[in-house]
Amino acid sequence: MDLRNVYFVIGTSYAGKSTIVKNLAKKHNGIALEENYHDEKLPELDSREFPNLTYTRDLQDWHEFIRRTPDEYVTWINNVKKECEIVELQILEELLAKPEMKDKKIFVDTNICIETLHKISDTGHVLVMLSDPEISIHRFFDRPDPEKQFLYRLMLEEPDPQAALDNYREILTRICSKECYDELENSGFRTIYRDENRTQEETVALADKIFGLNTLSIG
């Protein structure tokens, strides 16, 4: 694939990945492939080929989802990322094949792993966004996202809601570990750290500089 007009954003939760992808696409009249853009392919995926991605699609009782142990959940998450990478690259390939996409810039909030990004892209096309891991753990259910509030309600329905919440906090602690943070920070790609005092416009300016888009800005 010709990825010269594709800009990837990876990082931790609450770092602003979704926002920056949308804002960059708007500023540069480009395309935003937002968080979980692989979901568009979910209905057609074969559960034998993508057992982890289709797990939630085929789930009969969502309480099973939150009852898993932290070990089970983390293993599933890691396998989901591997399957996501396959699907996301397929979507990108299909998108880039369209004639109207020839000169369009594509900004991607992606699950593609660091190793693969080093193979298919370069430091001028990948941005890492990081927030304090503690924020992701302790503010997970503060977001109004329907998905997160749905999970929260499921836990409150459990026979022991506090035990269910504690179990999920441990899951988040594993997923948002210092080791995961360090891996992203030391990925070799340039990084923007979450700063509550920085405006969205200022963050876009930082991303533009990293991506070398300053001279190409149209607004």
Mean pLDDT of the chain: 92
Cα separations in angstroms, 96 against 20, 85, 93: 21, 16, 5
- On whether the CB atoms of residues 34 and 156 are closer than 8 A, the answer is no
Report the sign of the C-alpha dihedral through residues 184, 144, 52, 121, in that order: negative
Per CATH, the homologous superfamily of domain 6-213 is P-loop containing nucleotide triphosphate hydrolases (3.40.50.300)
Where do the structural domains in the chain lie, given as residue ranges? 6-213
pLDDT digits (tens, 9 = 90+) for 43-77: 999 999 999 999 999 999 999 999 999 999 999 99
Largest CA distance in the chain: 58
What would the pLDDT profile of 156-200 be if each residue is shown by its tens digit? 999 999 999 999 999 999 998 999 999 999 999 999 999 989 999
∠ CA(141), CA(146), CA(149), 5° rounding? 35
What is the reported pTM?
Answer: 0.90
Tokens (6 digits) for 35: 């968080």
For residue 56, give the nearest of 33, 34, 84 by alpha carbon.
84
Contact (CB, 8 A) for 94 and 24: no
CB-CB neighbours of 200 under 10 Å: 12
Least confident piece of the model among 53-57, 107-111, 134-138: 134-138
In sequence order, the 6+-apart residues with CB closer than 8 A to the CB of 15 are 129, 130, 131, 192, 193, 194
